[in-house]
């Protein structure tokens, strides 16, 4: 439920409504707005009458949000959330974001070479894994803190913002200079981590779990939003189905669905969805046409010898050709 107060509502009237809610043991959040004061009621409000709330002095309108995900809901906020990074890059709305880079940071030479290349092709953000959750305990687990330091060096060299995956709350202290914190598919319902990410003022890229429903993804986003962090980016990265021809199945429907149900930016990850580099281009094009606010693509300068996920990584030359096609496609979409 959302309580919208009149422009003319006094501080005393608004405080009286808050006191009434407190007496009724109803939790609420005050939402920033240029023109109105808004209160979002959290939890079970079935025991209070909408007419009674509407009758409170100073109240202009009362709206009921049916979805469990209140803060993430389009009902709560009809306008697209736009997130601005420190370097001015915008995410959401009509803006289109491209994150590109290797699955794992492997060396200073590797990450800087790729960073310069993807920037030249038009990428906005450099991606690179430092902490890597792997199915096998014998696979490369990433360079850890040293990998983050190499990403920071690349950031200074190129001016690109950086995104990297965080696996647990105890790692937060290492991510001070990381612009976007990625929550991987396996951690989508790591609620303790999500709660901690709700306390920080940094964008969070939240990937959909391998078998997660749309609602489960939005409820995970709600954990972060409820903590006070409004900078959440949703990511469709493919789900596990009966099909074995590809690593996962990219759910294109998720993009328009999530954008209809939520005001949060939605991007697609064609690399993890397919698991094979030859499908990255068509899935990127399909995601763009479907209304995605951006893409996150794995790019490696030597995929055959990559320490992780080389099969799904495209080369810098392939990425450059893809970006040219994406730019043309975006122009058609915006001119339509």
Residue with tokens 């995601």, as numbered in its chain: 287
199-228 pLDDT, tens digit each: 999 999 999 999 999 999 999 999 999 999
How far is the C-alpha of 155 from the C-alpha of 125, rounded, in Å? 9
Residue 174 CB contacts under 8 Å (≥ 6 apart), including other chains: 145, 148
Confidence (pLDDT) at 33: 67
pLDDT at residue 297 is higher than 80: yes
- Look at residue 13 in the predicted model and tell me its pLDDT: 93
pLDDT band at 65 (very low <50, low <70, confident <90, very high): confident
- Cβ neighbours of 82 (radius 10 Å): 14
Burial code (b: 16+ CB inside 10 Å, e: under 16) for 124-146 equals: bbbbbbbbbeeeeeeebbbbeee
Residues contacting residue 9 through CB under 8 Å, at least 6 positions apart: 37, 57, 58, 59, 60
Please compute Rg for the chain using Cα positions: 21
Residue 6 contacts residue 38 (beta carbons within 8 Å): no
Residue 80, token pair as written in the block = 């697209």
Would you say residue 136 has pLDDT above 80? Answer: no
Q: How many CB atoms lie within 10 A of CB 92?
A: 22
Least confident range of 121-125, 128-132, 214-218, 323-327: 128-132
* Confidence category of residue 32, pLDDT binned at 50, 70, 90: low
Query: Whole-model pTM above 0.85?
Result: yes
pLDDT score, position 300: 97
Average pLDDT over residues 60-66: 85
Concatenated DSSP letters of 213-272:
-HHHHHHHHHHHHHTT---EEEEE--B--S--SSSSB--TTHHHHHHHHBSS-EEE-HHH
Q: Which residues pair with 183 in a beta bridge?
A: 206
Measured at the CA of 115, the angle between CA 133 and CA 293, to 5 degrees, comes to 70
Residues 6+ positions from 282 with CB-CB distance below 8 Å: none
Residue % of the chain over a pLDDT of 70: 98
How confident is the model over 261-277, as pLDDT tens digits? 999 999 999 999 999 99
For range 33-41, the mean pLDDT: 80
Pick from 165, 183, 158, 162: nearest CA to 85: 162
**pLDDT confidence band for 34 (50 / 70 / 90):** low
Give the distance between the most distant pair of CA atoms in the chain.
68
Each residue of 168-197: pLDDT tens digit? 999 999 999 999 999 999 999 999 999 999
* Torsion angles phi and psi, residue 331, rounded to 5: -65, -40
Mean pLDDT confidence for 11-22: 92
Q: What is the pLDDT of residue 47?
A: 81
């Amino acid at each position: 439920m959302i309580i919208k107060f009149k422009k003319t509502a006094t501080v005393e009237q608004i405080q009286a409504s808050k006191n009434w809610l407190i007496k009724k043991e109803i939790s609420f959040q005050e939402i920033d707005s240029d023109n109105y004061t808004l209160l979002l009621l959290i939890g079970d409000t079935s025991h209070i009458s909408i007419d009674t709330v509407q009758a409170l002095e100073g109240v202009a309108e009362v709206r009921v949000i049916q979805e469990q995900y209140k803060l993430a809901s389009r009902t709560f906020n009809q306008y697209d959330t736009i997130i601005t990074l420190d370097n001015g890059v915008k995410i959401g709305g009509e803006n289109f974001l491209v994150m590109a880079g290797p699955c794992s940071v492997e060396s200073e030479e590797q990450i800087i070479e790729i960073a310069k290349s993807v920037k030249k092709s038009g990428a906005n953000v450099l991606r690179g894994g430092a902490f890597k959750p792997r199915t096998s305990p014998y696979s490369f687990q990433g360079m850890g803190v040293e990998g983050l330091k190499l990403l920071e060096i690349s950031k200074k060299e190129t001016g690109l913002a950086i995104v990297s995956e965080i696996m647990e709350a105890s790692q937060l202290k290492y991510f001070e200079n990381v612009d976007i914190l990625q929550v991987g598919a396996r951690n989508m319902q790591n609620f303790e981590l999500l709660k901690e990410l709700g306390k920080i003022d940094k964008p969070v890229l939240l990937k959909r779990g391998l078998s997660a429903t749309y609602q489960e993804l939005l409820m995970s986003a709600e954990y972060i939003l409820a903590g006070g962090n409004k900078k959440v980016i949703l990511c469709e990265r493919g789900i596990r189905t009966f099909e074995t021809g590809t690593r996962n199945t990219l759910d294109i429907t998720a993009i328009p669905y999530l954008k209809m149900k939520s005001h949060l930016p939605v991007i697609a990850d064609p690399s993890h969805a397919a698991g094979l580099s030859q499908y990255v281009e068509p899935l990127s094009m399909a995601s763009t046409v479907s209304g995605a606010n951006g893409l996150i693509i794995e790019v490696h300068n030597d995929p055959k010898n990559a320490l992780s996920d080389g099969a799904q990584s495209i080369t810098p030359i392939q990425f450059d050709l893809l970006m040219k096609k994406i730019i043309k496609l975006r122009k058609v979409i915006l001119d339509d």
